[in-house]
Amino acid sequence: GAVVSQHPSWVICKSGTSVKIECRSLDFQATTMFWYRQFPKQSLMLMATSNEGSKATYEQGVEKDKFLINHASLTLSTLTVTSAHPEDSSFYICSARIDGTLNTGELFFGEGSRLTVL
């Protein structure tokens, strides 16, 4: 099956620093990837849709200058949490869908990245 790799799995940083999270589709191309945030005991919240070759589409209430998304290639999207604060501590998950005729609508998820801001 399709594999999405997310890195790092865990990150602890000081308040005010920036953190970059990578999402890679290992065995398929993904023009579109998605970034989610999940707080404890809550559902996934879509933050933004990452589009290769164009700007990301952010959901309402998500600050684009705070959460920078770069979809550098058909297999890599990055999320940078800039000037992180303790309230940014969360579980960040990416997902991707296979491009083209193999697209069944199924989403393949990365393993998630747990960010803790001190």
Partner 1 sequence: RKEVEQDPGPFNVPEGATVAFNCTYSNSASQSFFWYRQDCRKEPKLLMSVYSSGNEDGRFTAQLNRASQYISLLIRDSKLSDSATYLCVVTANTGGFKTIFGAGTRLFVKA
Query: Where on the chain is the footprint of partner 1 (CB under 8 A)?
Result: 6, 32, 34, 42-44, 46, 91, 93, 97, 103-107, 109-112, 114
| Cβ–Cβ < 8 Å for 94, 4 | yes
26: its two tokens: 């290992």
Give, in order, the Cα–Cα distances in Å from 30 to each of 41, 63, 69, 109, 117. Answer: 29, 24, 15, 12, 30
Q: Which is nearer to partner 1, 71 or 97 (CB)?
A: 97
CB of 74 to partner 1, least distance (A): 16
Report helix, strand or coil for 39: coil
Q: Which is nearer to partner 1, 9 or 83 (CB)?
A: 9
CB of 87 to partner 1, least distance (A): 19
Q: How many CA atoms lie within 13 A of 69 on its CB side?
A: 26
CB of 89 to partner 1, least distance (A): 13
Q: Which is nearer to partner 1, 57 or 80 (CB)?
A: 57
